[in-house]
Amino acid sequence: MENVEASMQIEHGSGSMGRTYKVVPIMTALLVSGFIGMFSETALNIAISNLMQVLHITETTAQWLTTGYLLTLGILVPVSGLLLQWFSTRQLFIASLSFSIVGTIVAALAPTFEVLMVSRVLQAIGTGLLLPLLFNTVLLIFPPEKRGSAMGTIGLVIMFAPATGPTVSGLLIEYLSWHWIFWLSLPFLVFALVFGLLYLENVSDITRPKIDILSIVLSTIGFGGVVFGFSKAGEGTEGWGHPIVIASISVGLVALLLFTIRQLRMKQPVMNLQVFKYPMFIIGLLMVFACMMLILASMLVLPLYLQKGMGLSAFVAGLMLLPGSLLNGFMSPVMGRMFDKYGPRGLVIPGLAIVSASLWFFSEITLASSIFFIVVLHICLMFGISMVWMPAQTNGLNQLPMELYPHGTAVINTLQQVGGAIGTAVAVSILTSGMGEYLAQSANPKELTEIMQAMNVGSQGAFQFAMIVSIIGLALALFIRRVKVEHNGMKMPTH
């Protein structure tokens, strides 16, 4: 991060007085915490099959370790904008790390699935408090011309952690046990908490707006219902036509409609939907939504294909995905600096073109495709996404006035969770449907070679879905343009 060592002078829109912050300690505490939160999430995903054997649970039951995590985030993140206005930076940071540490200890000691499930909820609460705090803090302590680099550094952490998670998890499971995924994370969380207690400053203004209980209830039912419904559909057992799935999504959508109407009529809304008055914020939000769908869908389908389609071990599959994910992480700061210098248009449009081309090739892979070819495709996919995510998100947030920063970060982080749930659910549905149709026509559906071929057919369909999403994103990206931000809080777009 350029000049991160220097204290930054920040102008607040409410007055002329400036504030000076020591950026390095603040970012260190937040980034270490964020890294471990993301590492624990993806590291556990690769251990699902092992957990099924050790804890004697079915695949549907094991899926709840992911569903419960997403559901907790879907409920908590929408109200994060309110929390950012009620509690100080230090209070939210300490609460976040406390939940994460307790959840990690419980997970490391968990003797049963039920205990592990509780730990996942505690960890999700910690992550749900931390992510909005991280993005909101960056908006407050960095001037607009440095935000791209700062967001790029966040991207490095957010993508580097999921990249190392599967590989490290594979090693720990092979030589120790899944409990060590959490024992390994614990010292880093304790370090981040102690470091934050010593050096983290309060950077936000506490305004304590009125809390509207009905809005929180509608938000919980709305976002929780949608995430739960899509997650259940993605389990592959109920399917889209199951009453639970239909009811959850329907109730969630109705609650979201009522929530939206109420927010528009309130003087101090829980989630200020005025952010949708800013066109570049909307485009940035849709880009992030699409990227989250693509990343989670590919991170689910590709490992399954490598293991069940090509017969590779979990460790080897994790190693194959490592180069692309690492490149994505390392390119995020580079793309952030390029965004600061050139704006989003020259990055986002070519990036989505690369993503679309990569997914087209993925939709054509066969069991005869070489490992090298798949690794190269994954590298291209993740490189393209690095050109899109942070530039589009930063450009969108830059258009918001300062008082809407908490609400903008809350909306983006919420839609990320919804996008992840939708992308995963649709990808799994297409995958299982394609496999089922192939095996139904097979003369020997129980033969390993036929099952592998069925996985190939289902994976091709899932990648075709992802390609369509990326092409739609590419069409939307044609409307993106740079937002110029003045230091006094006034914003005006430039061509």
pLDDT at residue 371 is higher than 80 = yes
The per-residue DSSP string of 346-386 comes to HHHHHHHHHHHHHHHHHTT--TTS-HHHHHHHHHHHHHHHH
Q: What is the pLDDT averaged over residues 272-289? A: 88
User: Between 126 and 238, where is the model more confident?
Assistant: 126
Least confident of 55-64, 91-100, 326-335: 55-64
Q: Which residues contact 189 (CB under 8 A, 6 or more apart)?
A: 33, 36, 97, 100, 101, 104
Q: Tell me what pLDDT residue 5 has.
A: 39
- Highest-scoring range by mean pLDDT, 163-167, 329-333, 354-358: 354-358
Q: What is the pLDDT averaged over residues 335-350? A: 86
Question: With bands split at pLDDT 50, 70 and 90, how would you rate the model's confidence at 487?
Answer: very low
pLDDT at residue 8 is higher than 50 = no
Q: What is the pLDDT averaged over residues 324-335? A: 80
Strand partners, 11: 18
Rounded Cα–Cα distance for residues 305 and 323 (Å): 18
- Highest-scoring range by mean pLDDT, 194-198, 255-259, 328-332: 255-259
User: Between 437 and 238, where is the model more confident?
Assistant: 437
User: Between 230 and 101, where is the model more confident?
Assistant: 101
Q: Give this prediction's pTM.
A: 0.76
pLDDT, averaged across the chain: 78
pLDDT at residue 1 is higher than 60 = no
Q: Tell me what pLDDT residue 354 has.
A: 94
Least confident of 16-25, 55-64, 127-136, 247-256: 16-25
Rounded Cα–Cα distance for residues 322 and 163 (Å): 5
pLDDT at residue 10 is higher than 50 = no
Domains and CATH numbers, the chain: 8-493 (1.20.1250.20)
Q: Tell me what pLDDT residue 491 has.
A: 43
Q: Tell me what pLDDT residue 486 has.
A: 55
Instruction: Report pLDDT digits (tens) over 123-144.
Output: 888 888 887 777 777 777 777 6
Number of C-alpha atoms within 13 angstroms, CB side, residue 244? 12
The per-residue DSSP string of 226-285 comes to HHHHHHHHHTSSS-TTSHHHHHHHHHHHHHHHHHHHHHHH-SS-SS-GGGGG-HHHHHHH
Least confident of 37-41, 97-101, 302-306: 37-41
Q: Tell me what pLDDT residue 492 has.
A: 40
Q: What angle do CA 386, 387, 390 make, to 5 degrees?
A: 70
Rounded Cα–Cα distance for residues 261 and 109 (Å): 45
Q: Tell me what pLDDT residue 163 has.
A: 64
Q: Tell me what pLDDT residue 493 has.
A: 41
pLDDT at residue 357 is higher than 90 = yes
pLDDT at residue 168 is higher than 50 = yes
User: Between 226 and 233, where is the model more confident?
Assistant: 226
Least confident of 4-18, 147-161, 190-204, 205-219: 4-18
Q: Which two tokens stand for residue 428?
A: 């799994």
Least confident of 147-156, 364-373, 402-411, 425-434: 147-156
Percent of the chain with pLDDT over 90: 10
* Amino acid in the structure at residue 417: Q
- How far CA 457 is from CA of 299, 307, 362, 367, in Å, comes to 17, 15, 11, 10
Q: Tell me what pLDDT residue 46 has.
A: 67
Instruction: Report pLDDT digits (tens) over 374-402.
Output: 899 999 998 998 888 888 888 888 888 87
User: Between 372 and 25, where is the model more confident?
Assistant: 372
Percent of the chain with pLDDT over 70: 86
On whether the CB atoms of residues 344 and 482 are closer than 8 A, the answer is: yes
pLDDT at residue 284 is higher than 50 = yes
User: Between 56 and 289, where is the model more confident?
Assistant: 289
pLDDT at residue 285 is higher than 80 = yes
At 446, phi and psi to the nearest 5? -95, -5
